[in-house]
């Protein structure tokens, strides 16, 4: 254990008196009213949960609804609008309060409607995030009613008996009842980086947090060993709770994209307010404003312009789109924990994947056993122990008659079944396995070779050295039936095991493992690996009967080598396609595995990750490289074998130093640092430990590599969709600004002034109309674009650079040009229908303005089609997005209503249009589409 002075003293919560760390564990359990052997009953646990509340860290109360409502009005532009409404009401009052203050009422209604929409969007995003959170919730194993059950950690209560194992996250503060070689990683709490050894004995005197060896704390993780502990504190009463209270660390996450959008909105807001002021001054001068009522009209126009031209809805729509996209990923088994990772996924340039279980099925079958006397082949696949042992291909095949070979093979498979923690059971004719698939393979194989199961029957396990990915070995101390000497049986990676062997089993005797025999053993391993077999060696030695279970590692030497098995682990069928798709998308795939280099290369080349003659680099080779060497190696090599978890971290660092955005998978406890460092740490949902799931940014529900590639595609689609609605919203807003600005500046030229039939102030569009446009065209289609199906083939282009801006120069050019075309089309339409305009005779100002207003709305709806791609024609897969068409349809219906329904005519200052007006409006509006098609055509031609 580290010395206490190395750490910064953590904030301590007074433990419930009396302090459980200085009391006997049995007494603590008794005080908490629990029997350590059976745990709480379900009913009692439920009662305590209801009383104490969930085991969660929440330092801030939830935001009440009224605050959320008020927040909707906190937007300065909305406030501006409300002030304008108030002024217009005052003027209306001062001037004698004739009739209804139509403008004020309509604008106020629109503001309220906007706030409601904002609230709905926000709650949609929030519930999506909450749904995700529940999918990635931490779990704990506890005893309830005498049974081991897995519960959500949030449901832990005081008195619960925690069952702790390697890789578990400790769910609550608890006093240890038992501990076997238990080491806990407490750095999150104490800053101590080494895992701390724990013990269930009583602490002699009160000690600082980091030295309380008999306690485990919420937020820490089991690095090794097993234990049980009784929960003494949950939720905010835990040590983590104390820290959470201090830090108030429930800050809401803002993604870089959201930050950029917020920034754009702000800049745009300021610019537009500037423009609005200019427009107001101009309108006042041009129209020679005299009365307060005229002044209000101008004021409302300016303010509405400002409000309409700024895409205030943008941040809200963005979070909805991200949340919805992330939910779509989750439906396909890729659970992203933070919205931000959905963005990052789209720019992943390297996917570094484990082999076993992710690229392969993790369904292990032993097919070959090679010993000193020859080779045995086992038939059958999967976990059904149907199959038989025949002489292997190296022996020419045929029935297994060689006695020495049979005896050796029985010892290999028998040894592998003893150094084993898996279980093979049969119920209702169905065979099921539990535990490590590699170990299960031995149990299945033992049934196929006659005599093996009987040979190991009655052996008792006396101790164990567990398997770790660093050691690549596992041993069991066994006591044979009768008085036979005890033995240590070891199995593991042959290249690690063989150097520990001094003898080799031949028939009934052990003979010295001379150079020739050693070379033959190694050659067998190489040969099997070259055939894509996962290889595992088995060895043993006799040990004295009184050997204790502690410190068994020292006996893992001077072993007698029995032989090696070749295990097939078939590649997942969908992986080769996913690899090809990822490569097409400019993403490099790397395999990082604990397996043998030859096996790894063979499987990697079968899956299309590398060429058959590619080189694999081992963990040992990586350890010898400096930073520059590592970067050089990671540039050229895609298969890493016999790696230890720390090698994964080296690889991530080297790739990131080269500017890569790295997605990396992991399942073991020791993978956590690499997963944390990777841009997208990917944890295995089925085989992964709680700790890896906590450090990961994405959890794979099906442990499948193909799911990562699918998630990358989804990430790219989300990003594309965000670009779509940005392009749409910004160009639409630009269209509004151009219309009003040029309409006021060129009022004389357009004939607007001359047409002022009764109106003192002549503006191209009314304030209420501008707000209507904002409402009709903004949210609906923008939201629909957020869930649009893929328009361009997102996997046909290289990954987006991590620093690439979402609104780049090309987007701005598009936005400005389309806005300009939109404005011109609108003003031209007004001009056509004004008296003295292009059409002989002309209509009155209200009709002309209504036609212009309609043109602008329709132009924006046409622009929906443009915005689906920056380069691809709008006619490509035009009808793919049904939500888009629904939004467009709704927009048209609403526009017809606002033009034709009498009471809306009053509210929005419109007049009914005839067919000619509609035809002109549609024609004019469509120029936006033709213009953009032309632009895309030119772009594509240049590109070619
Ligand atoms: N339960 C086990 N007991 C003994 N040795 C094992 C056991 N499991 C695996 N090994 C040996 O250790 C090696 C490394 O295994 P490890 O689990 O670290 O990686 P892996 O599963 O092959 O690959 P990946 O990192 O892609 O999941 C294996 O090739 C095998 O030889």
Residues 162-191 have a mean pLDDT of: 87
Residues 554 and 581 in one domain: no
Choose the final residue of a domain: 531, 548, 568. Answer: 568
CATH of the domain at 23: 2.70.150.10
HSE of 239, CA atoms in CB hemisphere, 13 A: 25
For ligand 1, pick from 166, 355, 421, 438 the residue to mutate: most ligand atoms within 8 Å of CB: 438
Residues 592 and 550 in one domain: no
Residue 256's pLDDT is 66
Q: Which domain holds residue 605?
A: 334-359+572-703
- Segment of 127-131, 317-321, 820-824 carrying the highest mean pLDDT: 820-824
**Integer CA distances (angstroms), 49 to 20, 170, 217, 365, in order:** 21, 18, 19, 45
Ligand 1 atom with minimal separation from the 534 CA: 29
Of the two residues 822 and 107, the one the predictor is more confident about is 822
Residues 343 and 422 in one domain: no
**917-920: long-range pairs with CB below 8 Å, 24+:** 917/833, 917/847, 917/850, 917/851, 917/854, 918/854, 920/829, 920/832, 920/833, 920/851, 920/855
- Closest Cα to atom 5 of ligand 1: 492
Report the distance separating Cα 615 and Cα 347, nearest Å: 27
Ligand 1 atom with minimal separation from the 642 CA: 14
Of the two residues 326 and 474, the one the predictor is more confident about is 474
- Ligand 1 — pocket residues by CB below 6 A? 354-356, 436, 438-439, 467, 469, 472-474, 491-493, 534, 536, 593-596
φ, ψ dihedrals at 225, nearest 5°: 80, -175
Task: Please give the radius of gyration of the chain, using alpha carbons only, rounded to the nearest integer.
Answer: 36
Find the distance separating the first CA and the last CA of the chain, reported in whole Å.
66
Residues 645 and 531 in one domain: no
The rounded Å distance from CA 697 to ligand 1 centre is: 25
Residues 378 and 395 in one domain: yes
- Coil, strand or helix at 654: helix
Residues 144 and 35 in one domain: yes
Identify the CA nearest to 848 among candidates 738, 736, 750, 771: 750
The reported pTM is: 0.80
Q: pLDDT averaged over the chain?
A: 85
Report the distance separating Cα 854 and Cα 911, nearest Å: 11
Whether the predicted pLDDT of 773 surpasses 90: no
Tens digits of per-residue pLDDT, 247-294? 544 445 556 676 777 777 777 778 878 888 887 888 778 777 777 777
Query: Which DSSP category does 147 fall into?
Result: E
Least confident of 542-551, 668-677, 744-753: 744-753
Residue 331's pLDDT is 86
Whether the predicted pLDDT of 3 surpasses 50: no
Tens digits of per-residue pLDDT, 680-715? 999 988 888 888 888 888 999 888 999 999 999 999
Please spell the DSSP secondary structure of 543-606, one letter per residue: E-TT--STTGGGGSSSEEEEEEEEEE-PBPTTHHHHHHHHHHTT-EEEEE-SS-HHHHHHHHHH
93 lies in some domain? no
- Segment of 92-96, 368-372, 777-781, 872-876 carrying the highest mean pLDDT: 368-372
Query: Which DSSP category does 199 fall into?
Result: -
Query: Residue 306: which H helix or E strand, with range?
Result: helix 292-309
Choose the final residue of a domain: 178, 212, 247. Answer: 247
Residue 756: pLDDT band (50, 70, 90) is low
Residues 765 and 787 in one domain: yes
Residues 484 and 616 in one domain: no
Can you name the residues that pair with 843 across neighbouring β-strands? none
Identify the CA nearest to 226 among candidates 280, 184, 174, 278: 184
Residue 620's pLDDT is 92
What is the number of domains present in the chain?
Answer: 4
Residues 612 and 563 in one domain: no
Of the two residues 619 and 803, the one the predictor is more confident about is 619
For the question of an ipTM over 0.95, the answer is: yes
Ramachandran assignment for 507, one of left (phi > 0), alpha (psi -120 to 50 degrees), beta (any other): left
Identify the CA nearest to 513 among candidates 471, 563, 566: 563
Whether the predicted pLDDT of 431 surpasses 80: yes
Catalytic annotation, residues? 354
The rounded Å distance from CA 469 to ligand 1 centre is: 6
120 lies in some domain? no
Residue 838's pLDDT is 63
For ligand 1, pick from 363, 420, 492 the residue to mutate: most ligand atoms within 8 Å of CB: 492
457 contacts: CB under 8 Å, gap ≥ 6: 481
124 lies in some domain? no
Choose the final residue of a domain: 187, 219, 247. Answer: 247
Report the distance separating Cα 741 and Cα 813, nearest Å: 19
Residues 544 and 609 in one domain: no
Tens digits of per-residue pLDDT, 37-89? 999 999 999 999 998 888 887 756 677 888 878 877 776 667 777 887 888 78
Residue 6: pLDDT band (50, 70, 90) is very low
CATH of the domain at 383: 3.40.1110.10
CATH of the domain at 933: 1.20.1110.10
Identify the CA nearest to 771 among candidates 43, 113, 178, 16: 113
CA-CA-CA-CA torsion for 80, 81, 86, 92, nearest 10 degrees?
130
Whether the predicted pLDDT of 730 surpasses 90: no
Provide, rounded to the nearest whole percent, the portion of the chain with pLDDT above 70: 92
Whether the predicted pLDDT of 817 surpasses 60: yes
Residues 654 and 781 in one domain: no
**125-130: long-range pairs with CB below 8 Å, 24+:** 125/316, 125/319, 125/320, 125/322, 125/323, 128/320, 128/323, 128/324, 128/326, 128/327, 129/323, 129/339
600 lies in some domain? yes
Report the distance separating Cα 271 and Cα 315, nearest Å: 18
Residue 921 contacts residue 896 (beta carbons within 8 Å)? no
Tens digits of per-residue pLDDT, 194-236? 788 999 888 888 888 888 999 999 988 888 888 999 999 998 8
Q: Which single residue is written with the structure tokens 């067998």?
A: 524
Residues 813-839 have a mean pLDDT of: 87
Can you name the residues that pair with 700 across neighbouring β-strands? 334, 684
Residue 934's pLDDT is 94
φ, ψ dihedrals at 488, nearest 5°: -105, 120
Tens digits of per-residue pLDDT, 378-418? 998 888 888 889 988 876 778 888 999 999 999 999 999 99
Ligand 1 atom with minimal separation from the 354 CA: 26
**Residues in the chain, total:** 944
The rounded Å distance from CA 623 to ligand 1 centre is: 19
Residue 790's pLDDT is 82
697 lies in some domain? yes
351 lies in some domain? yes
Report the helix count and the strand count for the chain, using DSSP H and E.
32, 27
CATH of the domain at 353: 3.40.50.1000
Residue 604 contacts residue 629 (beta carbons within 8 Å)? no
Residues 660 and 761 in one domain: no
- Coil, strand or helix at 856: helix
78 lies in some domain? no
- Coil, strand or helix at 171: coil
Residue 255's pLDDT is 62
Query: Residue 501: which H helix or E strand, with range?
Result: strand 501-506
Tens digits of per-residue pLDDT, 632-678? 999 999 999 999 888 999 999 999 999 899 999 988 777 888 888 89
Whether the predicted pLDDT of 761 surpasses 70: no
Residue 841's pLDDT is 60
φ, ψ dihedrals at 455, nearest 5°: -60, -35
Residues 909-914 have a mean pLDDT of: 90
């Amino acid at each position: 254990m580290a010395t206490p002075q190395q750490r910064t003293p953590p904030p301590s919560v007074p433990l419930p008196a009396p302090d459980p760390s200085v009391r006997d564990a049995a007494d603590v359990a008794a005080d908490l009213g629990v029997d350590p052997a059976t745990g709480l009953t379900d009913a009692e646990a439920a009662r305590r949960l209801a009383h104490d509340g969930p085991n969660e860290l929440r330092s801030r109360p939830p935001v009440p609804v009224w605050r959320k409502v008020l927040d909707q009005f906190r937007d300065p532009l909305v406030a501006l609008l409300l002030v304008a409404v108030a002024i217009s009401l005052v003027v209306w009052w001062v001037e004698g309060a004739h009739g209804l203050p139509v403008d004020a009422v309509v604008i106020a209604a629109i503001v309220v409607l906007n706030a409601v929409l904002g609230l709905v969007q926000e709650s949609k995003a929030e519930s999506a995030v909450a749904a995700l959170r529940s999918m990635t919730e931490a779990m704990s194993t506890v005893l309830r009613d005498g049974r081991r059950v897995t519960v959500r950690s949030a449901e832990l209560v005081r008195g619960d008996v925690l069952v702790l194992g390697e890789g578990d996250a400790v769910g609550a503060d608890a006093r240890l009842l038992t501990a076997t070689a238990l080491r806990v990683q407490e750095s999150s709490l104490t800053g101590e980086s080494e895992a701390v050894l724990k013990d269930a004995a009583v602490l002699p005197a009160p000690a600082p947090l980091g030295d309380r060896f008999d306690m485990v704390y919420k937020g820490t993780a089991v690095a090794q060993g097993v234990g049980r502990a009784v929960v003494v504190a949950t939720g905010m009463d835990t040590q983590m709770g104390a820290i959470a209270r201090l830090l108030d660390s429930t800050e809401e996450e803002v993604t870089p994209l959201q930050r950029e959008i917020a920034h754009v909105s702000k800049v745009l807001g300021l610019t537009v307010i500037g423009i609005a002021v200019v427009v107001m001054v101009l309108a006042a001068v041009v129209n020679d404003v005299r009365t307060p009522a005229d002044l209000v009209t101008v004021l409302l126009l300016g303010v509405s312009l400002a409000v309409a031209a700024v895409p205030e809805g943008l941040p809200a729509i963005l979070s909805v789109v991200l949340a919805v996209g992330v939910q779509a990923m989750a439906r396909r088994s890729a659970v992203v924990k933070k919205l931000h990772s959905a963005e990052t996924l789209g720019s992943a340039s390297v996917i570094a994947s484990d082999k076993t279980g992710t690229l392969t099925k993790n369904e292990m079958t032993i097919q070959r056993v090679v010993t000193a006397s020859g080779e045995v082949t086992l038939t059958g696949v999967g976990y059904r122990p149907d199959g038989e042992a025949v002489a292997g291909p190296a022996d020419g095949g045929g029935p297994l008659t060689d006695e020495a070979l049979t005896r050796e093979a029985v010892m290999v498979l028998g040894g592998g079944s003893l150094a084993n923690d898996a279980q093979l059971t049969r119920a209702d004719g169905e065979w099921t396995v539990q535990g490590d698939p590699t170990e299960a393979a031995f149990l299945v194989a033992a049934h196929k070779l006659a005599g093996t199961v009987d040979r190991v029957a009655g052996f008792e396990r006396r101790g164990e050295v567990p398997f770790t990915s660093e050691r690549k070995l596992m041993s069991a101390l066994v006591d044979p039936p009768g008085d036979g000497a005890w033995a240590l049986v070891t199995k593991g990676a042959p290249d690690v095991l063989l150097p520990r062997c001094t003898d080799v089993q031949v028939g009934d005797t052990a003979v010295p493992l001379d150079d020739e025999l050693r070379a033959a053993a190694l050659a067998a391993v190489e040969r099997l690996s070259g055939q894509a077999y996962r290889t595992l060696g088995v060895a043993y030695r006799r040990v004295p009967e009184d050997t204790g279970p502690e410190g068994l590692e020292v006996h893992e030497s001077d072993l007698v080598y029995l032989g090696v098995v070749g295990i097939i682990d078939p590649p997942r069928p969908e992986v080769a396609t996913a690899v090809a798709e990822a490569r097409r998308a400019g993403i490099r795939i790397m395999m990082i595995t604990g397996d043998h280099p030859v096996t790894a290369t063979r499987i990697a080349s079968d899956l299309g990750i590398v060429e058959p003659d590619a080189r694999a680099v081992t963990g040992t080779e990586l350890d010898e490289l400096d930073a520059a060497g590592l970067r050089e190696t990671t540039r050229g090599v895609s298969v890493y074998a016999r790696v230890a978890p720390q090698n994964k971290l080296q690889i991530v660092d080297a790739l990131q130093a080269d500017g890569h955005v790295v997605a990396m998978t992991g399942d073991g406890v020791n993978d956590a640092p690499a997963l944390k460092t990777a841009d997208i740490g990917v944890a295995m949902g089925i085989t992964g430990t709680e700790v890896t799931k906590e450090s990961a940014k994405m959890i794979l529900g099906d442990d499948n590599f193909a799911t990562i590639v699918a998630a990358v595609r989804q990430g790219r689609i989300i990003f594309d969709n965000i670009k779509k609605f940005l392009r749409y919203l910004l160009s639409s807003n630009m269209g509004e600004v151009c219309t009003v600005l040029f309409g006021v500046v060129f009022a004389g030229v357009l004939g607007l002034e001359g047409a002022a039939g009764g109106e003192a102030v002549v503006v191209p569009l009314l304030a209420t109309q501008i707000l209507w446009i904002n409402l009709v065209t903004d949210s609906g289609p923008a939201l629909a674009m957020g869930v649009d199906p893929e328009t361009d083939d997102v996997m046909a282009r290289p990954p987006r650079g991590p620093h690439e801006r979402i609104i780049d120069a090309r987007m701005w050019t598009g936005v400005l040009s389309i806005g300009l075309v939109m404005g011109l089309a609108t003003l031209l339409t007004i001009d056509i229908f004004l008296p003295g305009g292009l059409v002989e005779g002309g209509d009155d100002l209200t009709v002309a303005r209504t036609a212009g207003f309609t043109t602008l709305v329709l132009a924006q709806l046409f622009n929906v089609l443009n915005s689906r791609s920056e380069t691809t024609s709008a006619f490509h897969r035009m009808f793919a997005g049904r939500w888009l068409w629904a939004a467009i349809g709704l927009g048209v219906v609403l526009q017809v209503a606002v033009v034709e329904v009498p009471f809306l005519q009053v509210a929005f200052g419109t007049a009914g249009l005839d067919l000619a007006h509609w035809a002109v409006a549609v024609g004019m509006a469509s120029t936006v589409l033709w213009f953009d098609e032309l632009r895309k055509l030119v772009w594509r031609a240049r590109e070619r």
